[in-house]
């Protein structure tokens, strides 16, 4: 055995990324916005929350009464990913993009591409954060404990679970 996947988390959110460039006017509080790109991304993704059973250890093994305490390593996030399939198949999609200032009149897609990449990176980070939220970790622990208790019960053992 290796990783015990205890929970799959589906993620969906609207991610806004905005990059503005301003030029400060010396000796004043005024700033002139000369460039900016705004991206709205409908982000969809998922991740798996798991524990590594290879690092599990046993404590208080009572063979006579068929009882054992299993010590599990901390939960980790596996495969946190932003879904890039086409939107009709449930993937992420750009909802809106806008440019302001001189950016709106300059030809070329370099700034737009950078803004899209930054929005995707921000969305990826948010998927990872969602998978390590306290309520997700608590739910994954309960799930892993139920899976392992059920497995031990099937072979006639009573198991209690501890976490490192």
- Nearest partner of 106 among 24, 25, 21, judged by Cα: 21
pLDDT at 1: 61
Please state the domain count of the chain.
Answer: 1
pTM for this model (two decimals): 0.76
Rounded-to-integer distance, Cα 35 and Cα 20, Å: 6
pLDDT at 23: 63
CB 12, CB 146: distance < 8 Å: no
pLDDT at 32: 62
pLDDT along the chain (164 residues), means of 10: 91 87 71 72 95 93 95 93 90 79 57 85 94 95 96 95 94
pLDDT at 98: 74
Which structural domain, as residue segments, surrounds residue 28? Answer: 3-163
Contacts of 158 (CB under 8 A, 6+ apart): 65, 66, 67, 68, 152
Report the 10 Å Cβ neighbour count for 106: 11
């Amino acid at each position: 055995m290796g990783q015990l996947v205890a929970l799959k988390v589906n993620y969906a959110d609207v991610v806004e990324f905005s990059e503005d460039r301003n030029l400060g006017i010396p000796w004043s509080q005024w700033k002139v916005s000369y460039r900016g790109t705004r991206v709205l991304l409908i982000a969809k993704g998922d991740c798996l929350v798991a524990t590594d059973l290879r690092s599990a250890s046993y404590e208080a093994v009572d063979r006579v009464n068929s009882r054992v305490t299993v010590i599990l390593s901390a939960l980790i996030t596996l495969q946190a990913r932003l879904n890039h399939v086409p939107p009709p198949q449930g993937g992420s999609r750009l909802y809106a993009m806008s440019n302001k200032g001189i950016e709106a009149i300059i030809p070329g897609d370099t700034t737009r591409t950078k803004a899209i990449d930054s929005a995707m990176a921000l969305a990826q980070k948010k998927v990872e954060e969602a998978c390590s939220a306290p309520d997700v970790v608590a739910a994954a622990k309960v799930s892993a404990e139920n899976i392992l208790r059920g497995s031990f019960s099937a072979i006639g053992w009573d198991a209690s679970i501890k976490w490192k």
